[in-house]
Amino acid sequence: MTEAERERFFLALGDRTRLRLLHLMGEDEVCVCFFVAVFGESQPKISRHLAYLRRAGIVAARREGKWMHYRVVPPRDAGAARVLREVVAWLASDPDMQADRARLANLCCAPRLPAELRDAPLPSRFVQLTR
């Protein structure tokens, strides 16, 4: 890992919104529209943070029709991968991060999704729960 890559990696982890995004993804793939709904932030702001994480090599993106999905990917550098695992594990104990996760679960498991999410693909961990 070059010095510039290392700096980009740690800067990516130095922002609360990006940490919230990482925590919500966990081991799943999540559509941008769910981040927007959970955080109550604009889609451009969320996408800007996701692009930052992608440039840092921490997340990968996949397009499915009009939907963009993001997932955490382990960095190629073993040390960075270890740091990312520890940060993600540590975030799980944060009450604000837990509240984000609960909002996502409430959205995904609601009898009716809000209109803007009705056609959106659910994160896979919720697909089994809603069928």
**54-92 per-position pLDDT tens digit:** 999 999 999 988 889 999 999 999 999 999 999 999 999
| C-alpha span between 34 and 97 (Å, rounded) | 15
Chain-centroid distance of CA 7 in Å reads 21
pLDDT digits (tens, 9 = 90+) for 38-47: 999 999 999 9
CATH number for the domain formed by residue range(s) 3-108: 1.10.10.10
Residue 127 has pLDDT above 70, yes or no: no
pLDDT, average across residues 101-129: 81
Average pLDDT of the chain to the nearest whole number = 91
Of the pLDDT bands very low, low, confident and very high (cuts 50, 70, 90), residue 131 is: very low
What is the reported pTM?
0.90
Residue 28 has pLDDT above 80, yes or no: yes
- Residue 128, pLDDT score: 56
Contact between residue 77 and residue 36 where contact means Cβ atoms under 8 Å apart: no
Helix segments in the chain, DSSP class H: 3-12, 16-25, 32-39, 43-55, 78-91, 95-109, 124-130
| Contact present, 107 and 30 (Cβ < 8 Å) | no
